[in-house]
Amino acid sequence: MSAITDFPLVVPVKDFGQTISALAIKRPTGKQIRQHGLPYRVNDAGEVQIHMGVVCAYAAELASVTAGAVDAMDPVDLNKLAWVIAGFFLNSESATPVT
């Protein structure tokens, strides 16, 4: 699995005066996971519910952009990004123990 996921934005955002049309999303580290926790919850019915506050904290760190850039993201981009970030935790490959 690649350490960086390329994520094109449907609607570019500005960060530090530059227009960003794609993000390079790094995999979270153990330290980041300890700091932020899981970006989702599983309810009693077994459904995954995204925790957007946690997703946005991860997004800024993993893409090396400001929180303001994340706040300016189009809802479609932010929703897709939420599932990319959750996928780091939900992906079946991440469930395979490394020995």
Report the pLDDT value the prediction gives residue 93, as an integer from 0 to 100: 57
Tens of pLDDT along the chain (99 residues) come to 567 889 999 999 999 999 999 999 999 999 999 999 999 999 999 899 999 999 999 999 999 999 999 999 999 999 999 999 999 998 765 544 444
Between the alpha carbon of residue 22 and those of residues 25, 55, 65, 81, 98, the distances in Å are 9, 17, 11, 11, 31
This prediction's pTM: 0.85
For residue 5, the model assigns a pLDDT of 87
Within the chain, strands assigned E span 4-15, 18-26, 40-42, 48-50
Which 3 state secondary structure label does DSSP give 40?
A: strand
The domain tally of the chain equals: 1
pLDDT at 97: 47
Structural domain containing residue 21: 4-95
